[in-house]
Amino acid sequence: MSDDTSDDQYYSNWDMVKARASANPQIVTLGVVMIIIISILGFTMMGGSSTAPDFEAQWVGGENDGEVFKLSDLQGKVVILDLMATTCSPCKDIADDMLVPLHEKYKDDPGVVIISLSVGEDTPEGLLAYAEDNGYEWTHALDINKEAFEAYNGIKIPKVVIIDPSGDLVYEKSSNRIPLQEVEDTVSSAKSGLADTVNLQSGSIWLMAIGAGVLSFFSPCSFPLLPGYVSFYLMRKKETSGGLNEKTMRTALPAGLAASAGILTIFLGLAILGIFFSEAIREMVPVLIPITGAVILVMGIIMLADIDMSRFTYPIKEKFGAGAKKLKPIFVPPIEKLLSFITRKPIKFEENEDSELMGQYLYGLGYGAASAGCTAPVFIALLVASMSYTLFNTALIFLLYAVTTAALMVTFTLLVAASQDTIVNKMRASTGLIKKIGGAVLSVVGLYLVYQYITVWA
């Protein structure tokens, strides 16, 4: 037996894994990030304590208007806690379909209290007007210190929690559709002391930052745009590698990061507004929703009608490009160094066509704007809640959100880039059809945002 063969018998599976990891450090790095994200999300699904966390809130409307109370003040009663925000369209559905009949059934029962607790950035006046305009006669309150938002994981609204007279949790559900009969049965069991307790899912603000990143990527307002992103990216691929390898990583990673930068630009702007102009942003949210919807709707119509917009966009592109060239020496070198460190290969943006990366960035802007139409109130509430910590912790919370969103977009881009040549060729041959489908999707998303504004605000 030769020496080579003799050495091979000591080459274990672990050695093979290490060798492949060394050859593909980018894939390993991205995989580790995704595993961490998935693990943390899984941790949030694990059960915690069955005792309802106490919090302070402010009554809105009624004889106790403006007074601050604690949840523990209501011990001895069954509390139906509805975590909501006036900007949350599904929250209104929960109120109409479930809370209205519950109020009719228990309005004369002193042992049952229904509270719609706003964990968003609502004002007392805005919440009161919302309740009165919709005819909601049960009690409403504001989560003034964001204690309930953090303790009950308010990022997953609408959420209904039921607390029995002894202060234990007997029901918790976050969904757009919560069965009325299920809630009524739980209330009946809680009144008789026979309800089984449930454990509250983890509500750490650090975990919620990651959840917000996932929510931004999979938002119902933006997720339908992903098919358009696929066609947009593939139509610009000069060649395909037919697999997830180093060549794919080198070409797709900058594209995915450019799209991520577009998304994060939108939310960074919201973060700045939310932190420094929290009062003003509350009034801006209702205005931004129809504007975003109208812009996306117009984009969809342009794609459906196949209108050439180059004569309008070219001057803007020229001015934007001139400004970008001035800023390029400041921002590009650090980004190139970061990408070179991640990929372990020298990367220069000059090797890529500016229009490709700029196109990815602009698509990310549109994706982020659409996502903000659904998630801006929750995102701002998360930032406001984080302000109770130090400035460093607030920045870290935003960083966790940013890394999560970027990792999802980069992963999606890599999977698209690794698609087989046959898929890419078929999509290239169907450019016209894909463009019309993308236009139809954009139009539907735009109409949905406008409809949301009309039904919730107007």
Handedness of CA 200, 205, 208, 210 (dihedral sign): negative
Residue where the block lists tokens 């011990």: 75
Lowest mean per-residue pLDDT among 55-59, 265-269, 351-355: 351-355
Does residue 229 register a pLDDT over 70?
yes
Instruction: Summarize pLDDT for 108-125 with one digit per residue, the tens.
Output: 999 999 999 998 778 899
Q: Find tokens 């990815």 and name the residue.
A: 360
| pLDDT digit string, tens, across residues 17-66 | 455 555 555 555 555 655 665 555 555 544 556 788 889 999 998 888 88
State residue 352's pLDDT score: 47
Q: Is 24 helix (H, G, I), strand (E, B) or coil?
A: coil
pLDDT at 141 over 90: yes
**CB neighbours of 223 closer than 8 A, spacing ≥ 6?**
217
Q: Categorize the per-residue pLDDT at 390 as very low, low, confident or very high, splitting at 50, 70 and 90.
A: low
Token pair 């702007």: residue: 269
Q: What is the pLDDT of residue 428?
A: 54
**What is the rounded CA–CA span in Å between residue 296 and residue 218?**
17
If you average pLDDT over every residue of the chain, what do you get? 72
Supply the pLDDT for residue 1: 45
Q: Do 155 and 212 touch, CB atoms closer than 8 A?
A: yes
* pLDDT-above-70 percentage for the chain: 53
Instruction: Give the span between the Cα atoms of 274 and 150, in whole angstroms.
Output: 17
Which tokens in the block code for residue 437? 């489908």
- Confidence label for 403 from pLDDT (cuts 50, 70 and 90): confident
Residue 37 to residue 33: CA distance in whole angstroms? 6
Count CB-CB contacts under 10 A for residue 82.
25
For every residue of 372-433, DSSP letters joined together read HHHHHHHHHHHHHHHTTS-HHHHHHHHHHHHHHHHHHHHHHHHHHHTS-HHHHHHHHHTHHH
The alpha-carbon radius of gyration of the chain (Å, integer) is 25
Q: For 219-245, what is the mean pLDDT?
A: 64
Domain ranges of the chain: 56-192, 205-456
pLDDT > 90: percent of the chain: 17
* CATH code linked to domain 56-192: 3.40.30.10
Residue 272 has pLDDT above 50, yes or no: yes
User: Among 175-189, 304-318, 387-401, whose mean pLDDT is lowest?
Assistant: 304-318
Residue 140 has pLDDT above 70, yes or no: yes
- The model's confidence at residue 187, banded by pLDDT at 50, 70 and 90, is very high
pLDDT value for 216: 74
Confidence band, pLDDT 50/70/90 cuts, at residue 291: confident
